[in-house]
Structure 1
Amino acid sequence: MEYVIYILYALVIFLVVKRFMSVKGIKNISTAELKTELQDKNKQFVDVRTPVEFQRNKIKEFKNIPLHTIAKSATDQLARDKEVVVICQSGMRSQKAAKVLKKLGFTNVTNVKGGMSAWVKHDTKIKK
């Protein structure tokens, strides 16, 4: 019985660690790095928050494609051969969106760590 408990603990720890590890092929950048990336016109910037969240505060270079529509909308609105930089409020939804984009065949996907929460702390270039 004691072994079962250890196995369950190990499984829980593995699942928690796996949840927060980056996915192969998805780059993670800080908000400081994002500031430089915004100058690159060859990149596509996607905010996966809800439309209400997006309207409250946004970075002007980003277009809003909510997470719940990314699988349907991405192929119509984004070019697969260009890098896609995704952001959300905290970095969790954008990580999910990045995984979806990889599955759809987007080869160059970047997630912004900390999302808009980190951006607000780092910069004031927010359009309201």
Structure 2
Amino acid sequence: MENSEAVIDHLIKLGYFHIVGVLEGGIETWKSKETVASIRNIRAREFDKKSVQGHIVDVRTEKEFKSGHIDNAMNIPLTDLVNFDFKLRKDDQQLYIYGQSGYRSTVALSILSLKGFKNICNIQGGYKALQNEEKENQ
């Protein structure tokens, strides 16, 4: 139960206040009864090679985005993502999503999936990993 409280506290810090509950038994309990969709992940090194093949969405806050971001990234903070009206095609346009370290982008992928997007990919480790990859390549 202690872990559940930590997750709820983290979600509240991200701006989610209407939390219904926590799945008792975790995802394995759900998988035993329902089909579970998975999230496509890409490492920062792989992203560097593919970034020109789609749109890049930064789900960090405006302040974080202004302090540094990936070239050509559009900023849609996670807290705004549910209400954001995407003008992009949902079926064939690749979207690469990143946050600061990977947590927010994972949540963002779930939201985008519910909005009907098919080709969405989480950049593992987020902006931190992308910065580290850039430093290693210099």
TM-score normalised to structure 2 length: 0.68
Confirm or deny that 1:80 pairs with 2:90. yes
Q: Per the alignment, do residues 16 and 120 of structure 1 end up closer, same or farther by CA in structure 2, a change over 3 Å counting?
A: farther
Cα distance in 1 for residues equivalent to 2:87 and 2:101: 23
Specify every segment of 5 or more residues in structure 2 that has no aligned partner in the other structure, as ranges: 1-22, 30-35
Asked which structure has the greater RCO (Cα within 8 Å, sep 6+), the reply is 1
Whole-angstrom distance in 2 between the partners of 1:50 and 1:65: 8
1:33 counterpart SS class: helix
Q: Does 1:47 align with 2:91?
A: no
Tell me the residue number matched to 2:45.
32
Q: Which residue of 2 aligns with 1:7?
A: none
Q: Counterparts of 2:116 and 2:86 in 1: how far apart (Å)?
A: 13
Cα distance, 1:84 vs structure 2: 1.2
> Are the aligned partners of 1:38 and 1:61 in contact in 2 as well (CA < 8 Å)?
no
The SS at the match of 2:97 is strand
Preserved contact between residue 49 and residue 65 of structure 1 (Cα < 8 Å): yes
2:118 — aligned with what?
Answer: 107
CA distance in 1, matches of 2:111, 2:70: 22
Deviation of 1:25 after TM superposition, in Å, equals 4.5
SS at match of 1:72: coil
Q: Which residue of 2 aligns with 1:93?
A: 104
Identity across aligned pairs (percent)? 31
Report how far residue 78 of structure 1 moved.
2.9
Question: Given residue 78 of structure 1, which amino acid in structure 2 is its aligned partner?
Answer: L
What is the aligned residue count?
Answer: 106
- Within 2, Cα distance between the matches of 1:16 and 1:31? 27
Equivalent position SS for 1:36: helix
For structure 1, the residue ranges without an aligned partner over 5 or more in a row are: 1-11
1:35 positional shift: 0.2
Taking a change above 3 Å as real, the CA distance of residues 69 and 120 of structure 1, as seen in their structure-2 partners, is same
Higher helix fraction (1 or 2): 1
* Alpha-carbon offset, residue 59 of structure 1: 0.6
Work out the CA distance in 2 between the residues paired with 1:119 and 1:83. 18
Equivalent residue, structure 2, for 1:68: 79
Instruction: Note if contact 1:25-1:109 (Cα within 8 Å) is conserved in structure 2.
Output: no
